Amino acid sequence: MSSNKQYSGNALLELRDVHVAYPSRRRGGSVARAVDGVQLTLQPGEIVALVGESGCGKTTLARAILGLQQLSQGTIQFDGESIPTDAAGKKLFRRQVQIVFQDPTASLNPRQSVYEIVAEGLRIHGNSENEHKIVSAALERCGLHPADRYLLRYPHELSGGQRQRVVIAGAMVLEPRLLIADEPVSSLDASVRGEILKLLQDLARDKNMAVLVVTHDLGLPWNIADRIAVMYLGRIVEIGTTEDVLARPKHPYTRALLSVVHEHLQLEQQILKGDTPDPTSISRGCRFNPRCPMVQSGEAERLGILQKCLNDDPVLPNKQNNDHIAACHALNI
Amino acid sequence: MSDSVASISPRGMTWARRKRALARVWRELRNDRSGFSGLLILLGFGLVALCAPLIADRSLLLAAAGRNNPDLAGPSAKFLLGTDDIGRDILAQLVWGSRVSLFIGIFATVVAVLIGSLVGLVAGYVKGKVATVLLAIDNFFLVVPFLPLAIVLAVILGRSPVTLALVIGFTSWAGSARLVRAQVLSLSERGYVERARALGANSRHVILRHILPGVAPLIIANATLIVPGAILTESTLSFLGFGDRLSPSWGKLLDGAQSSGSITLNAWWYYLPPGLCIITVVLAFTLFGRALERIFDPRLAGR
Amino acid sequence: MIDSTVLKVRDLYVTYQSSFGPVPAVRGVDLDIALGETLGLAGESGCGKSTLAMALLRLVPPTTQISGSILLDGQNVLTMKPGQLRLVRWAQASIVFQGAQHVLNPVQRIGAQIDEAIQLHHGSTSSTVREMLALVGLSDTRADDYPHELSGGQKQRVMIAMALSCNPLLIIADEPTTALDVMVQAQILQLLDNIKRERGLSMLFITHDLSVLSHNTDRVAVMYAGRIVEVGPAEELLRGSIHPYSRALAESFPIIGDPKSRHQPKGLAGDPPDPNLLPSGCPFHPRCNVAIDSCKSIDIKLSAVAKSVDRQVACVHANDESRSVK
């Protein structure tokens, strides 16, 4: 117990049993359990990738960490303390946690110049001393040099990669301790992708900044992440170091995901049937059982765990920070 | 561009941006033939209204001024547009009338746009009960037959040009509230608003830096389109006899022309000039407003 | 040779008109697709790959200038009369677009939409709506659904059914899986692969994602700035690209498990060029890390390389062993 406490003292971000539910937009009013019991810790300077299909709750979770989405249950602690609810505390918290969105074009106000965009965070937090210097430094740090050439440009005069650099620079002026990157490269051209990822990795190392990268792409964590968390229907089903999870996946869902990624040539293709699952109707027992290849092939029955798969919700075992763990009944035989 | 880099300041930046935006609007307006001619006509009328005291003495409007003149005399060297039924110079009334008509038109528009923008902004930005109530009020003003409402209000509140303008403004804001709300709703879904929130911005910052600059052009374009409606309403109210008896607006001139029987007497110089003025100004405002709308509204831009 | 080549493109130039003047989107492209073959066409936004796809069926704005020749099953698409062209579209070659949701009519049941595609070109083969749905793995009952009742993957299946309804020789798939989830993407790729094999179809598969090409294509062509810079057998090209651009593109999708790419994201400095302002000489030289002085002035044409029969590369270093091995 005591070791546990000490551990949470070091963590930069700690999520405990986080739930986010909202009424479904469709008729019928059933509740969507977008995030359904997530535990996750982030150490300072660490890059963690949150991987999953659309609708698995990864973006909702990111928004919840930013405080843009209310929790229906559970706690999020930043630097050992709960996220403040009063205006002043909230503002201070926002300074330390920044986000980079998927589409840089949408995240930039077309009426603002690069200078105004990057300086916006400083102005919001009332830090106008040396504004010009800080803005220029941030732009150059993010690969736009000489900064003077970009300051007076407008977003439409920049390429997609340059726009994403501007967004990142706008976040970096506040010197955040945690950066959430929501699909930071998926709307960019392939050849530009690597440069942006390299920038994120370098920033994390240089500034000892933790980065939570939300992505559907398993190649991205191999490029930059220290650890991977695989999400399925609102829950983390497997987590561990990137090498462990990608080289020796434990959960059948992770195995299936990896097998269809063409950059990974060792596994036999295992294409799951059906559509992306729906968070308004999470099945009883293991949430993956309707699509699980082990259930469908009869392997679960052979192993004698089928009843458990259909009735008991598997939980992630307790763990140390870097343990490789997965929530699957087949692992506890 | 390089020289301005050295002197970057928040204020300089904003000014540079505004200058660029204005230059763009001016350029596009110059290329829009109908919109530009609308603007020229409006400038002409504005000049006449401003210079009214130089063109005709205000005393010419008094009933006593026509005592020694012929009644309903046709145009002549002395009275360029003839005289009315009590011998007053019609040109003088027309010139002074442009003041009243334009003042009421513009002042009423300012009132309408202020109410409309405020209601639209709040209804679009704040969700929940407040928005529902505001929308209900907006709907009421959209569907209620506004001329009877304006007449009732004008009778209750009195008939000075200012109260008339207030009445007209108060009855014609609903459309712009709709427009502003739609734009605010669309703007507050934009990625850059979410980014500003994530940076720690409060609503004040979001509204002042992102929402208002986004709706302002639309409001301006919309305002130029409300003016002609307000001028017509004023003319209608005056023509129906609910206008200000002491101010010589174009509507009141028409009212006088009608009640003096100038139409049956074929005294065209009495009813034609105010009618033409109203039509021309309304048309000019509409042409100018439509041009601004084309320039400002992103939805119409790429046609 | 003519019998087995379904599509033969020679020296194709496509220049469209914009408010800034003529934009050369495709600049001298040669392509061959044999019967039953799948050619992957890879490139980034603005490289001209979609313009090329649309030009193949002359689905371009009327002011666009096209020159060169496009032989589809031996007939030149560029000289066809409009009536004949309409027959060729769908019946001989059909397109599967990226955003299925924008192509399907939202107020028409999908059965009716597939039927319409069949009816428009009844003749050679009339398949039934039911057969087409079964072919793409959807149940009959889906015929009565409206597009909004289907998921993204299902809509893309409907698009494929419509494209196949007239039994074409060639399918042009323009980023058919881009907006879809990984797993659904795998399902659609598998479906296309099966159909292709069963029916002996040829396919032009256009994508920005080089990684999906290795499994699904026989040959791959890489496009940059309106031109093909490298073409060759898929596996060979993706594993050992010779042109520095195709190499960079291949490296930007890391091989999971390969220690060389671990913590080493690779990309290219700079941005894809604006078709309006192409650099002089080889258009890739400003981003190229092996460019030499002559690259700034001389644009190398696509030509065969010494070490492989089927490969063509447009680079000064194409036959330079020390470079290409790296």
The arithmetic mean of pLDDT across residues C23-28, rounded, is: 92
Chain C residues with CB within 8 Å of chain A CB: 44-45, 151, 153-154, 181-187, 190, 208-212, 214-215, 245, 248-249, 251-257, 261-269, 271-272, 287
B16 contacts on A by Cβ (under 8 Å):
152
Residue C64 sits in the same domain as residue C212: yes
Percent of chain A with pLDDT over 70: 93
Query: Which of the four pLDDT bands, split at 50, 70 and 90, describes residue A27?
Result: low
Same domain? For C65 and C214 the reply is yes
Domain boundary among C134, C167, C200: C167
Tell me which of A301-305, B105-109, B225-229, B293-297 is least confident. Answer: B293-297
Question: How far apart, in whole angstroms, are the C-alpha atoms of residue B39 and residue B287?
Answer: 8
Contact check, Cβ <8 Å, A94/B202: no
Q: What separation in angstroms does the CA of A199 have from each of A122, A172, A175, B56?
A: 21, 12, 15, 74
Please give the CATH topology (third level) of the domain spanning A2-22+29-332.
Rossmann fold (3.40.50)
Tell me how crowded residue A201 is: count the other CB atoms within 10 A of its CB.
20
Predicted local confidence at residue C173, as pLDDT: 92
**Residue C220 and residue C271 in one domain:** yes
> Whole-angstrom Cα distance, residue B197 to residue A121?
10
Do C321 and C199 sit in the same domain of this protein? Answer: yes
The pLDDT assigned to C101 comes to 65
Which of A124, A127, A187, A212 would best serve as a mutation to test chain B binding (most B beta carbons within 10 A)?
A: A124
pLDDT at A127 over 90: no
* Residue B294 identity: R
pLDDT band at B10 (very low <50, low <70, confident <90, very high): low
Using the predicted structure, report yes or no on whether residue C215 has a pLDDT greater than 80.
Answer: no
Q: Kindly report the number of other CB atoms within 10 A of residue B48's CB atom.
A: 18
- What is the ipTM metric for this complex? 0.84
Is A194 in CB contact (< 8 Å) with chain C?
yes
pLDDT of B296 higher than 90: no
Q: Does A have 3 or more CB contacts under 8 Å with C? A: yes
> Does the pLDDT of residue B39 top 50, yes or no?
yes
| pLDDT in the model for residue C321 | 60
Cα separation of C104 and C161, whole Å?
12
A106 and B17 within 8 Å at the Cβ level: the answer is no
> Are the beta carbons of A231 and A316 closer than 8 angstroms?
no
* DSSP H helical ranges for chain C: 49-56, 82-91, 100-103, 110-120, 129-135, 152-164, 182-199, 213-216, 234-239, 244-251, 321-325
**pLDDT for A215 beyond 60:** yes
Secondary structure letter of residue B209 according to DSSP: I
Nearest CA in chain C to A261: C182
Locate C149 and state its tokens: 């009742």
A262 → closest Cβ in C212, C245, C257: C212
Q: What is the pLDDT of residue A321?
A: 67
What does the mean pLDDT of chain A come to?
A: 88
Residues A66-105 have pLDDT tens digits of: 888 889 999 999 998 888 888 888 888 989 999 999 899 9
Secondary structure letter of residue C278 according to DSSP: P
The string of pLDDT tens digits covering residues B244-275 is 777 788 888 888 888 887 878 888 888 888 88
Question: pLDDT higher for C179 or C57?
Answer: C57
Q: Both C177 and C303 in a single domain?
A: yes
Q: Are residues C157 and C191 in the same domain?
A: no
Asked if residue C259 has a cis previous peptide bond (ω within 30° of 0), the answer is no
Contacts of B213 in chain A (CB under 8 A): 111
A224 chain-C contacts, CB cut-off 8 A: 263, 265
Residue C294 domain boundaries:
5-92+168-325
Q: What is the pLDDT of residue A233?
A: 93
Asked whether A45 and A204 are in contact (CB, 8 A), the reply is yes
Strand segments, DSSP code E, in chain A are 13-23, 31-42, 47-51, 73-78, 81-82, 97-100, 178-182, 210-215, 227-232, 235-241, 325-326
- Asked if the model's pLDDT at residue A136 lies above 90, the reply is yes
Two structure tokens written together for C229 = 């810079």
User: Mean pLDDT across the stretch A150-160?
Assistant: 89
- The C-alpha of C69 sits at a distance from chain A's nearest C-alpha, in angstroms, of 30
Q: How confident is the model at residue C275 (pLDDT cuts 50, 70, 90)?
A: confident
* Same domain membership, residue C121 and residue C9: no
Give chains near C: 3+ CB pairs under 8 A: A
Secondary element (H or E) of residue C79: none
Contact B1 A121 (CB under 8 A): no
Query: For C124-176, how does the pLDDT look when each residue is reduced to its tens digit (9 = 90+)?
Result: 445 688 888 888 988 888 889 998 888 888 888 998 888 888 888 999 999 88
Mean pLDDT of B72-88: 78
Q: What count of residues does chain B have? A: 303
Interface of A with B in 35-74 (CB under 8 A): 66, 68
Q: How far apart are CA B257 and CA A128, in angstroms?
A: 65
pLDDT, one tens digit per residue, over B191-239 is 999 999 889 888 999 999 899 988 988 898 888 889 888 988 888 888 8
pLDDT for res A278: 84
CB contact under 8 A, A107 and B191: yes
The H-or-E segment that residue A125 falls in is none
Per DSSP, B89 falls in state B
Beta strand C5-18 with A31-42 is: unpaired
Residue C324 predicted with pLDDT over 50: no
Q: How do residues A242-277 score in pLDDT, each as one tens digit?
A: 999 998 999 999 999 998 886 655 677 888 887 778
pLDDT of residue C32: 93
Can you tell me which residue has the tokens 């700034």? Answer: C296
Chain C interface mutation, best of A47, A191, A218, highest count of C Cβ atoms under 10 Å: A191
CB C130 within 8 A of CB C115: no
Strand order across the C219-224 sheet: C93-96, C170-174, C202-207, C38-42, C219-224, C227-233, C312-313, C303-304
Quick one: which of A136, A131, A64, A62 has its CA closest to A100?
A62
**A144 φ/ψ sector (left φ>0, alpha ψ -120 to 50, else beta):** beta
* Statement: residue C69 has pLDDT above 50: yes
> Is B199 in contact with A107 (Cβ distance < 8 A)?
no
pLDDT for the residue A263: 60
Domains of chain B from N-terminus onward: 33-301 (1.10.3720.10)
| Residue B262 C-alpha from the chain's centroid | 30
Which of A203-212, B83-92, B134-143, C294-303 comes out lowest in average pLDDT? B83-92
In terms of DSSP H, where are the helices of B144-267? 146-157, 161-171, 174-188, 191-199, 203-205, 212-239, 250-259
List the CATH number of the domain containing C264: 3.40.50.300
Q: Which residue has the higher pLDDT, C250 or C11?
A: C11
Task: State whether C183 and C41 are in the same domain.
Answer: yes
Q: Which of C167, C188, C209 is the endpoint of a domain?
A: C167
Q: Tell me, what's the pLDDT at B218?
A: 86
Residue A7 has pLDDT above 60, yes or no: no
Judging contacts by C-beta atoms under 8 Å, the chain C residues touching residue A194 are: 251-252, 265-268
Longest dimension (CA), chain B: 77
pLDDT band at B299 (very low <50, low <70, confident <90, very high): low
**pLDDT over threshold 90, residue C52:** yes
Rg (CA), chain C: 20
Mean pLDDT in residue range A108-130:
89
Range from A4-13, C213-222, C250-259, C277-286 carrying the lowest mean pLDDT: A4-13
pLDDT band for A25, please (50, 70, 90 cuts). Answer: low
A226: pLDDT strictly greater than 50: yes
Picking from C167, C194, C222, the residue at the C-terminal end of a domain is: C167
Domain count, chain C: 2
pLDDT of residue A327: 93
Above pLDDT 90, what percent of chain A?
60
Give me the mean pLDDT over the C269-287 stretch: 88
Give residue A243's pLDDT: 93
Of B1, B192, B210, the CB nearest to A106: B192
Q: Give contacts of A171 with chain B, Cβ < 8 Å.
A: 199
